[in-house]
Structures are given as C-alpha cells and as structure tokens.
C-alpha cells in the first residue's frame, strides 16, 4: 500500500501496530487455534494481548488528551482509525472488534457525556487494559428497521425508560451486543416517549456494569470474530441516576458521531481480514505443489489471485474516499460510509471464498487456520446493519423524498 499521503505520526503508528500483529497477535492465533472454541468466554483471549495493545498506544484512542488519552489529529482522526483497524484485524478481527468499540464509544462520550462522567470513565478506560465499553441498540423485536424511514410509534424500541424522581427506570433487553458479555460500561438506548416516532422518542443512557437490575444474560457463541465476546443484556427495573442520561428524545439522530466513524471502522476491519486472506493465499500458491507445479503456475489459480487483489484495492479506494469525507464532514459522508461498509462486506466475502478454495482441503481444516478468515468475513455481512438495510440507507440518503418515504400508510 502506498503511504505517501500518511503523516509521520500515522506512519509510526502503523509500523508499531504491524509489529504488534506480526510479533504477538499472529503467533498467538497460529499457536492457539483451539482457544477460539473455549466455551468459557473469559478464557479465550489472554490479558497480555490487550496489554500489548496498550503498549503500542492504541487501546484508548478517541479519549481526549486532558483525560489521559492519545489525541489524534481531528482532521484525519477517522482515517487514522481506519488505518489502525485494518492493521489489527489483519491479525485478528475479534481483537479489533474489542478495541474499536472502545474508540467509538469514547468518541460518543466526549461529545455527549457530562464532564464529571467523562472524567470518571475515561480514567478507568485509560487505567485498566482490560476495560471494555459497549453500545446497545439491537433488540429481539427490531434492529435494522430503526434506520429505515419507519418513524412510527409501532416500530419504536421496546426497551422503555421512565423518569421516577431523580432516576430513570429502564426495563427491556438488548441482543447481539459487541463486548456485551464483558464490558464495564454500556451505552443503552430506550424509548422515553411511546406516543411519537423513534427519531423523537428515543433516549440514550450511560449504564455501569454494576447497576442494580442489569443482568448479562449470556455470551453468544458467534461464527467468527470469536475473540470479541458478544452478549445479551436484560434490564429489570434498572435504576440509572438522572445525570447518566446522555441524550433525551433525539438520541438516534445524535448517534451519528458514533455511526459515521463506526461504518468506516467496520469496512477497515473487513479490509484487514481480506488483506490477511490474500497474504496467506499468495504464500500458499507459491509454495504448494499440485500437478507437478506450484499452484500459481496453473492459470486458473493465478486468475483468482488477481481477482482477490483487485477486490481488495477497490475496497481500499472506496474506504479511503469515505473516511476522508467523514473527516471533512462532507455532505455525502453518510452515503459514502454506508457504501464503504456494505461494499467491503460483499467483496471481502468473495476474497475469503477464493482464499479457502485455493487452499483446497486445507482451507476447510480448523488447525490450518484459513477457514477462520472465511468465518470472520461472514460476520461483516450482519454487523452494523445487514446488506439490504445498508443499501436501503444509501438510496434513502440519495433520494429522501421518494425512496426515503415510508412505503406504508400515506401520511
């Protein structure tokens, strides 16, 4: 990858991430492939991996310098997030998921949380290498449709928050939450006005893990990205102090500070998985002999490699354009970051398919390790909106008066 556009700081960060991945993450993954399948979620990723991320200075990105974080140049912050997410996901996309969730929630907190809560939670994040944060929107009865124009009461969240004195009382549940199993702090979205559409009636709250009424109900056993512990949460008369309200009523609109960088980071992690699939495949086809010749000498094999490389570069180009648009706050940033996210998920899935096919039988063997990239790639089709919903969002942002209008009852 050409790095002429990178600043000196970005180049140094990329180099230290690459060394961390090559020297620590990849040897761990190669040497411990069974750890992914440990049914005790706490036992999967050893703490020294997150401590290693701390040493290279990438754990608390997004935290302002005044609270002990490492401040990135705001004019290229999202581009730097993308660069680092790609590097880490090249090593392991579950580890990348764990880390990026902290960056995304940190950006949300620095924009929306009261100062005394920023002081408190940024201090913990900076001090504890295993401290994680989570962002909880998805519920059993709705997720994707939240982002369509179905701004009607019947599509609103079923998790409810009601003000009682100086507390909010929250009841409901959230599912499929990244870091949901082991986070120390959650951002939770709940309906605070059932009479209106969700864009006007959803509020967000800061919920510490030890809040009475919060239960971490389970850790989901995911197909890929298994070193990130995805969890389910239940809230039963959970009482949250009133100062823990982040945004009242229009929390979904304000979540753009989370979702725009979030989509870029998703696409970048996805790219990292594709780059690793290409690396291992390029190595394999130049060493593995079949039919008396190394595989790459067979033209069908060589063509597939070209296809992998082309898809990766196309994803990289769109991602770079979208990340710049988010940093520059361009008018088409929303459209572009949805495009980058959904395009990466479909293209890198094909890259991963080529990778396992070119490895033949070895591509299907757990101990060989290539199938992991295929499983990890599949997760991206479903994370942060499905493929179809992402495409609907793109067309909605381009044609708000036609594609962007609810197809149900006429207003």
Ligand X SMILES: Cc1cc2nc3c(=O)[nH]c(=O)nc-3n(C[C@H](O)[C@H](O)[C@H](O)COP(=O)(O)OP(=O)(O)OC[C@H]3O[C@@H](n4cnc5c(N)ncnc54)[C@H](O)[C@@H]3O)c2cc1C
Which residues of the shown chain bind ligand X in the complex (CB under 6 A)? 135-138, 143-145, 148, 176-178, 222, 225, 230, 379, 382-386, 388-389
Q: Cβ of residue 260: shortest distance to ligand X, in angstroms?
A: 16
- CB nearer ligand X, residue 135 or residue 324: 135
Q: How far is CA 15 from CA 4, 10, 386, in A?
A: 14, 9, 33
- CB nearer ligand X, residue 174 or residue 354: 174
| SS3 of residue 342 by DSSP | helix
- CB nearer ligand X, residue 334 or residue 384: 384
- CB nearer ligand X, residue 21 or residue 143: 143
Using CA atoms, how far apart are residues 278 and 68, in angstroms rounded to an integer?
A: 37
Residue whose pair of structure tokens reads 């381009």 in the numeric block: 398
Using CA atoms, how far apart are residues 308 and 289, in angstroms rounded to an integer?
A: 20
Q: Cβ of residue 15: shortest distance to ligand X, in angstroms?
A: 29
Q: Cβ of residue 137: shortest distance to ligand X, in angstroms?
A: 3
| SS3 of residue 289 by DSSP | strand
- CB nearer ligand X, residue 21 or residue 389: 389
Using CA atoms, how far apart are residues 145 and 177, in angstroms rounded to an integer?
A: 17
Tell the burial category of 26 from Cβ atoms under 10 Å away from its Cβ (0-12, 13-18, 19+). middle
- CB nearer ligand X, residue 362 or residue 386: 386
- CB nearer ligand X, residue 18 or residue 382: 382
- CB nearer ligand X, residue 76 or residue 138: 138
Q: Cβ of residue 257: shortest distance to ligand X, in angstroms?
A: 15
Q: Cβ of residue 145: shortest distance to ligand X, in angstroms?
A: 4
Q: Please answer whether residues 17 and 54 qualify as being in contact, where contact means their C-beta atoms are separated by less than 8 angstroms.
A: no
Q: Please answer whether residues 286 and 297 qualify as being in contact, where contact means their C-beta atoms are separated by less than 8 angstroms.
A: no
Tell the burial category of 380 from Cβ atoms under 10 Å away from its Cβ (0-12, 13-18, 19+). buried
Q: Cβ of residue 232: shortest distance to ligand X, in angstroms?
A: 11
Q: Cβ of residue 338: shortest distance to ligand X, in angstroms?
A: 13
CA torsion, points 87, 92, 98, 101, in degrees to nearest 10? 40
E-strand ranges in 192-276 read 202-208, 214-219, 231-241, 245-247
Both tokens of 247, joined, read: 């945004």
Q: Cβ of residue 71: shortest distance to ligand X, in angstroms?
A: 25
Using CA atoms, how far apart are residues 229 and 221, in angstroms rounded to an integer?
A: 8
């Amino acid at each position: 990858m050409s790095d002429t556009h990178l600043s000196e700081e970005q180049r140094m960060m990329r180099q230290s991430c690459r060394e961390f991945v090559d020297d620590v993450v990849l040897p761990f993954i190669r040497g411990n492939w069974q750890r992914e399948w440990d049914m005790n979620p706490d036992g999967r990723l050893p703490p020294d991996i997150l401590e290693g991320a701390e040493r290279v200075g990438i754990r608390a990105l997004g935290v302002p310098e005044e609270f002990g974080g490492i401040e990135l140049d705001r004019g290229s912050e999202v581009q730097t997030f993308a660069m680092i997410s790609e590097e880490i996901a090249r090593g392991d996309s579950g580890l990348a998921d764990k880390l990026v969730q902290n960056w995304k929630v940190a950006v949300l907190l620095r924009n929306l949380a009261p100062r005394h809560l920023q002081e408190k939670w940024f201090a913990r994040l900076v001090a504890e290498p295993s401290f994680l944060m989570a962002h909880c929107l998805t519920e059993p009865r709705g997720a994707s449709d939240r982002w369509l124009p179905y701004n009607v009461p019947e599509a609103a969240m079923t998790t409810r928050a009601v003000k009682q004195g100086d507390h909010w009382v929250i009841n409901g549940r959230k599912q499929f939450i990244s870091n949901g199993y082991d986070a120390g702090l959650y951002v939770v979205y709940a309906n605070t006005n059932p009479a209106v559409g969700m864009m006007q009636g959803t509020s967000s709250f800061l919920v510490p893990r030890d809040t009475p009424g919060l239960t971490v109900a389970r850790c989901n056993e995911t197909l890929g990205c298994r070193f990130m512990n995805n969890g389910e949460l239940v809230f039963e008369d959970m009482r949250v102090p009133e100062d823990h309200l982040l945004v009242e009523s229009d929390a979904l609109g304000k979540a753009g500070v989370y979702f725009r960088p979030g989509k870029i980071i998703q696409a970048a992690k996805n790219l990292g998985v594709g780059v690793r699939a290409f690396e291992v495949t390029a190595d394999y086809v130049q060493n593995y002999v079949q039919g008396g010749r190394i595989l790459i000498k067979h033209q069908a094999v060589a063509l597939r490699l070209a296809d992998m490389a082309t898809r990766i570069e196309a994803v990289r180009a769109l991602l770079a354009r979208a990340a710049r648009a988010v940093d520059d706050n361009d008018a088409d940033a929303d459209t572009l970051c949805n495009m980058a996210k959904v395009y990466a998920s479909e293209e890198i899935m094909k890259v991963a398919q080529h990778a396992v096919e070119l490895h033949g039988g070895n591509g299907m063997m757990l101990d060989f390790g290539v199938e992991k990239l295929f499983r990890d790639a599949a997760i991206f089709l479903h994370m942060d909106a499905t493929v179809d919903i992402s495409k609907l969002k793109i067309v909605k942002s381009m044609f708000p008066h036609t594609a962007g209008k609810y197809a149900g009852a006429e207003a």
